[in-house]
Structure 1
């Protein structure tokens, strides 16, 4: 005989499974729709945008690649990798100093760093443009690098500090007894122990930098410096846009981030759960 408790358990599991299935459809369908529309022609797309393509050819993907997506991809990879590495290691150093060392006014320093979370990029846009023009950095690779690093350090420091604060201090004491200095302890002991939150921080910074539009639009004007979000808009033409080519370019831009997330999702979830959840 089925008890009331077991029946409620079955209903609850069925509800959760249905909810997760519906959520998967909501997330996956737009991506699949984008990919498939990259194989269509303009007439197919406007005739029936939700139908399957009549034939699977890579012409639109080749066109998107040859119309600048290849150079935009290289620029995005260069900016994203450089900014992510700089942001994560600067933030890790800051988190190490705030959690493992006795420094004067540490609470004030922490408040100033986290105060950066409240600064909206759009508010500082005009002063930043004038400052970078005066420094001769406007429309350069360094402009994007400095902006991405500066605006991501507060949040990244917050994440890594939340993880480091629960690491036992006995580790530092043991390292000091063995003759390791602060720098050696940081590189050889603390950083390896923080691998999950470092991976989470890397992924979050990659997602931000890869998809960032405002700074890339305002602070760059040359084709060699434009990242993928800006470059994809160049595929739009006033005299007639080949939308399947645009969808193909969007698919090319999305593939690296999707692959990265699936390869590192175990560390990503673990790092956020162990860090922010503490």
Structure 2
């Protein structure tokens, strides 16, 4: 089967009663990407790479520093970021902060996830697509989390199996709720990642909440001297651990001392996009 392009997927979205009103191809210099129009703002997708730095020997990676990611790291996937078209790349912008009404929040979330999927799969990117879920959305949708998005993807000819639904730390903190959400999303074909606000939250991850990935902020883990225990516990659970928000070379080198495998953050994002430019 020939992979669908972004225009192909936008054409399919035109037949969708909701997405057809909001998704469209860009114009001019943005003519090769999909855009979403919401509340007078044009939104598009940015993607932050998540690297596997264990591909080659640790000594080689250490000797090369951050540039070693380019030579010795493979992309596990990319985290989608909702980006204002009129803003600089990766400027902080959270459209959900503008929304008070829960139904509007659900609509924006569904639109954003579809937008990111179109731009990701239509560009034939490889690896996994990580999509964040807003904490308020989890409370607004009462049951069958993942059902609607799975149906949309299937109608577009896309597979949920390459998408990782990323749960906020507030959801991970509640073991029973975490177990329910994880099972629901996985039932509809998605993988699930959980964010930790502190190292102790990893204890919520168990057989009843079998996450596919766990994410922890690098700076917090290093500050609290919890990198080694986290890596050890995640290895025992056999759940891949991603250290995100790696800000600088010092954090990157410190993480590598503990056999960290997956990394993400501004240090690598800037280098990755400079290389691609």
Identify the TM-score tier after normalising by the shorter chain: under 0.3
Higher alpha-carbon Rg? 1
Q: Which has the higher helix share?
A: 1
Higher relative contact order (CA 8 A, sep 6+): 1
Q: Which has the higher strand share?
A: 2
- TM normalised by structure 1 equals 0.22
- TM normalised by structure 2 equals 0.22
